[in-house]
Amino acid sequence: MKIKLGLGLLPALLLGSVSNGAEIEKPQVSNHDDKLFIQKVVDKVYAIVGPLGNRSPANLGNNATFGFVVTDDGVVLVDPGGTYKGAQRIHEVIKTVTNKPIKFVINTGGQDHRWLGNDYFQHQGAKVIASKNAVADQKNRLKDIYFMLSNTAGDKAMEGTVDSYADIQFDQRYELTLGGIPFEVVHPGAAHSPGDAYVWLPVQKVVFSGDIIYMDRLLSLMAFSSSKTWVQAFNAVAALQPEHIIPGHGKPTTLPAAEQSTLEYLSMLRTKVGEFMQEGGVIQDVGKIDQSQFEHLENYESLKGRNAQQVYQEMEWE
């Protein structure tokens, strides 16, 4: 039997607000906003958009974009938040739309906000799904993740947080159907982190990209990232020809806009760093290459130099 959301919820979705830092309105996110905003993308599919800046005591480690799908038989959540309290906050947002139980949680990668909220939802009966490479990455970087969170979100925000891993682990692809809605979870290769995956809804033509796609802010290349295979992962998402993309950071978007903010940045950076290396440039100076066509993105000044250095180090071994 199909259950429809009541029409009485619609004004609240557009204009209202809920407690615990979650506001229900069209996202207007920034580097300095620690609230979660919800946006209905298509029928039954929602994005939860967090701040673009770093983790903080106020945002509880939820500095990313999450999402969920309401089916007749329960909810599928994509990424559970960066702490136990962060997961609670995400659940409060979901409850403004539905009180149906969270049946599955999908971890789209190894970053803290993609999985450290697992324990909260598992204790309520949810099964967690992740690629084997994501789980390996989560375990390999656990000490570093806790240290980073302690210094950014703070110990109070981390209270109750327990590292808990996926119940269902897959190599490259996992499919499920809940309430008549099919989901395809695919690990196309390393991107921002080694186990990044996307979640494809073939009927709705919506993709949750995880950290394969960044919007509104400059993407971040870390020691565990791979710019080369990130391009390949993006192309795997693009091949789906999605009508709507819920990115890992920033507001829901379209494929052409995602190409501009993510694919074109990665391609530009790899091309310019490669040319810089061929000309004999040293890593100490690579941060000076011109990336100004992307200066409109949040975090540009703080990340452009480190991103260039990371690509330099990566390309030395290609």
Over residues 222-269, the pLDDT tens digits come to: 999 999 999 999 999 999 999 999 999 999 999 999 999 999 999 999
Q: Predicted confidence band at 141 (pLDDT cuts at 50, 70, 90)?
A: very high
Q: Which pLDDT value is given to residue 14?
A: 31
189: left (phi over 0), alpha (psi -120 to 50) or beta: left
Domains and CATH numbers, the chain: 7-254 (3.60.15.10)
Looking at 15-29, 33-47, 151-165, which range is the least confident one? 15-29
Which amino acid, one-letter code, is at 147?
Answer: F
Pair 49, 37: CB distance under 8 Å: yes
Average the pLDDT over 164-169 and give the result.
98
Round to whole Å and give the CA distance between 293 and 286: 17
Token digits for 19? 């407690």
Whether the pLDDT of residue 6 is over 60: the answer is: no
Cα→Cα distances 261→6, 173, 247, 265, 294, Å: 36, 26, 11, 6, 8
Pair 245, 262: CB distance under 8 Å: no
Over residues 172-183, the pLDDT tens digits come to: 999 999 999 999
Q: Which pLDDT value is given to residue 221?
A: 98
